[in-house]
Amino acid sequence: MANPDVTFVAKSFMEHLPVYQVLVPFVSAPLCVLFGNRQFAWYLTFLACFISFIVSILLLNQVAEFGTISYALGGWPPPIGIEYRIDFLNAFLLVLVSGMALLTSVYLKGTIDLEVERSNQTLFLTCLLLCVSGLLGVLITGDAFNLFVFLEISSLSTYVLVAQGANKDRRALTASFDYLIMGTIGATFFVIGLGFLYAATGTLNMYDIAGRIQGDLPDRTIQVAFAFILVGLGLKGALFPLHTWLPKAYSFSPTPAAIFLASTATKVAIYAIVRFLFSVFFSHPTMLETVLVNVVMPLGILAMFVAGGIAFYQRDLKRMLAFSSVSQIGYILVGVSFMSSKGLTAAIIHLFNHGITKGLLFMCAGVIFLRYKASFYKEMSGLGRIMPWTSAAFLIGGLSLIGIPGTAGFISKWILVQAALEQGSWLIALAILLSSLIAVLYVWQVTEIMYFGDSSKKGFEISVGPFSYITIWILAVATIFFGLSTSFTLEYSSEAARVLLNEFSLTD
């Protein structure tokens, strides 16, 4: 017997999915503070992340079934009201961000007692939820100013999360302060760019702006707006050489924060860059091409080599992973700068694959860090015998970082090399392969110490809960799964690239 009320609720729930995506973690955050109990806060965090994960999967299904969703917030139709617009690209990344949020919330159940003071745990979870809702908001919104507000919600809570590492290492405070300065400059640059766009078009809806800046030649205002937006978002996305905040912020923040940031925060900023490039400024392909080929691509290639080289010289696991993140961002940017369907597919799939890989590596590094109270290579000598399972999971992540066949990282690099060859740029394909050799070096260094070093140091007895190990293995299996079965990732990312380039190729 069907209850009419229930079907009504279910129907309106399905209709309002886009707003629930952001609202669930956003409302849960103050509820955590209100009740103030850290056990309750964890359950609420877990529940909120779980619901947003389910919502993101439902949204992806809806997009796959009905195409792009446009949701008018508060019933005000765009371009007057704020529009939430979901196509394949952001639906796909919503799954990544909410999924990583869910895994992080499970992981931190096992480690939070060891890393964050009890009195701060509720607030830590609150900030994590705010960060999640901010990042989800950046992904989902179609309004440029709304994007800025969500970007700042996520960034402000990120600064707090990073600073929580201070009771282990006081350098977390200066790392957080540096990040705050750089992040705010980035956000302000973004706002300046938006101001110019608004002055030129009189609208803030991204798709409306795109329609109004079409013309033969972009005027000076549009060019300036583009430059400011690219640099501003580049600062947030740790585009080489604007990455200087990233290594410190990742290596001194508490592990749950590092996991979530490394796997999602920079990805979301790069998403915003891609969105502006191909959904807003697409009507000026020559301007895009000039900037992408002359600025973004060289910087991307430079990032692959220089940041990879710096990662090789690190003697601290977390710092090495942070620099490797910067170099991996280089691959994504090179993929974007090809401006081809294959290149964008490679970039989008690498956003996803690198997200889960880096999440896995930071999860392992977190457990290792807690055992040895440091993450220096020399402490970890012989780890393969002391913590065989975690070391094995770390190895899987490392292989994926290099791009060994059978892991997720291989798929994205394979498509990226294909995209380079499609463009006829042999040199770039060669650069991608050579820089992968650097990844071999810095991953091998750790592997050698883990498996061939003498296990004289046993570390401290710690009680990391089973939750952390479960999430590590979920991600390790996912890394291999997405390396063997590409139907999910490849289908959605190529579809996303197709939708993005659809408008773009029309104007060519």
Partner 1 sequence: MVGLTLDQLKILLTGHSIYWLFIILMMTGFYIVVSRGNLIKKIIGLNLFQTSVFLFYISIGKVSGGTAPILPMKLKVDDFSVYSNPLPHVLILTAIVVGVATTALGLSLIIRIKEAYNSIEEHDLLEEDRSQFSNENNEDRKFGGFF
User: Residues with Cβ < 8 Å from 350, sequence gap 6 or more?
Assistant: 328, 331, 332, 335, 412, 413, 416
Closer residue to partner 1 (CB): 158 or 345: 158
Nearest distance from residue 400's CB to partner 1, in Å?
27
Footprint on residues 348-407 left by partner 1 (CB under 8 A): 373-374, 376, 378
Total interface residues for partner 1 by CB under 8 A: 34
The answer to the question of residue 223 lying near partner 1 (CB under 8 A) is no
Nearest distance from residue 461's CB to partner 1, in Å?
15
Binding piece for partner 1, criterion CB under 8 A, among 48-56, 86-94, 166-174, 403-411? 166-174
Among 11, 16, 171, 220, interactor with partner 1 by CB under 8 A? 171
Among 19, 54, 58, 173, interactor with partner 1 by CB under 8 A? 173
494-499 long-range Cβ contacts below 8 angstroms, 24+ apart: 494/341, 494/345, 495/88, 496/87, 496/88, 496/89, 496/92, 496/344, 496/345, 496/348, 497/89, 497/341, 497/342, 497/344, 497/345, 497/348, 498/88, 498/341, 499/68, 499/87, 499/88, 499/89
Strand partners, 69: 86
The answer to the question of residue 184 lying near partner 1 (CB under 8 A) is yes
Q: Are 173 and 260 in contact (CB under 8 A)?
A: no
Closer residue to partner 1 (CB): 167 or 294: 167
Closer residue to partner 1 (CB): 148 or 276: 148
Q: Helices (DSSP H) in 403-425: which residue ranges?
A: 408-422
The answer to the question of residue 309 lying near partner 1 (CB under 8 A) is no
Q: Are 107 and 467 in contact (CB under 8 A)?
A: yes
The answer to the question of residue 123 lying near partner 1 (CB under 8 A) is no
The answer to the question of residue 176 lying near partner 1 (CB under 8 A) is yes
Binding piece for partner 1, criterion CB under 8 A, among 167-175, 338-346, 360-368, 421-429? 167-175
Closer residue to partner 1 (CB): 58 or 192: 192
Among 20, 26, 46, 145, interactor with partner 1 by CB under 8 A? 145
The answer to the question of residue 152 lying near partner 1 (CB under 8 A) is yes
The answer to the question of residue 208 lying near partner 1 (CB under 8 A) is no
Binding piece for partner 1, criterion CB under 8 A, among 158-166, 304-312, 431-439, 466-474? 158-166
CA distances from 409 to 151, 247, 398, 484 (A): 28, 21, 9, 11
Closer residue to partner 1 (CB): 185 or 227: 185
The answer to the question of residue 220 lying near partner 1 (CB under 8 A) is no
Binding piece for partner 1, criterion CB under 8 A, among 3-11, 171-179, 383-391, 487-495? 171-179
**Cβ atoms within 10 A of the Cβ of 385, count?**
12
Binding piece for partner 1, criterion CB under 8 A, among 191-199, 392-400, 436-444, 474-482? 191-199
Largest CA-CA distance found in the chain, in angstroms, rounded: 69
Nearest distance from residue 276's CB to partner 1, in Å?
18
Could you give the 3-state DSSP secondary structure of residue 314?
Answer: coil
Phi and psi (nearest 5°) for 329?
-60, -35
**271 token code pair:** 């998403």
Distance CA 127, CA 132 (A): 9
Distance CA 168, CA 20 (A): 36
Nearest distance from residue 246's CB to partner 1, in Å?
18
User: Residues with Cβ < 8 Å from 232, sequence gap 6 or more?
Assistant: 186, 187, 188, 189, 190, 191, 192, 193
Distance CA 429, CA 426 (A): 5
CA distances from 92 to 477, 491, 496 (A): 19, 10, 8
Binding piece for partner 1, criterion CB under 8 A, among 95-103, 153-161, 284-292, 397-405? 153-161
Nearest distance from residue 159's CB to partner 1, in Å?
6
Nearest distance from residue 165's CB to partner 1, in Å?
12
- Report the residue count for the chain: 508
Distance CA 476, CA 473 (A): 5
Distance CA 113, CA 105 (A): 13
Among 159, 245, 323, 410, interactor with partner 1 by CB under 8 A? 159
The answer to the question of residue 458 lying near partner 1 (CB under 8 A) is no
What is the dihedral angle through the alpha carbons of 392, 393, 394, 396, rounded to the nearest 10 degrees? 90
**From the CA atom positions of the chain, what is the Rg in Å?**
22
The answer to the question of residue 315 lying near partner 1 (CB under 8 A) is yes
Closest Cα to residue 316, out of 257, 254, 247? 247
The answer to the question of residue 477 lying near partner 1 (CB under 8 A) is no
Q: Are 450 and 394 in contact (CB under 8 A)?
A: yes
Nearest distance from residue 425's CB to partner 1, in Å?
36
Nearest distance from residue 103's CB to partner 1, in Å?
27
The answer to the question of residue 195 lying near partner 1 (CB under 8 A) is yes
Among 191, 287, 480, 499, interactor with partner 1 by CB under 8 A? 191
* Residues in touch with partner 1 (CB under 8 A): 145, 148-149, 152, 156, 159-160, 163, 166, 168, 170-171, 173-174, 176-177, 180-181, 184-185, 187-188, 191-192, 195, 198-199, 204, 315-316, 373-374, 376, 378
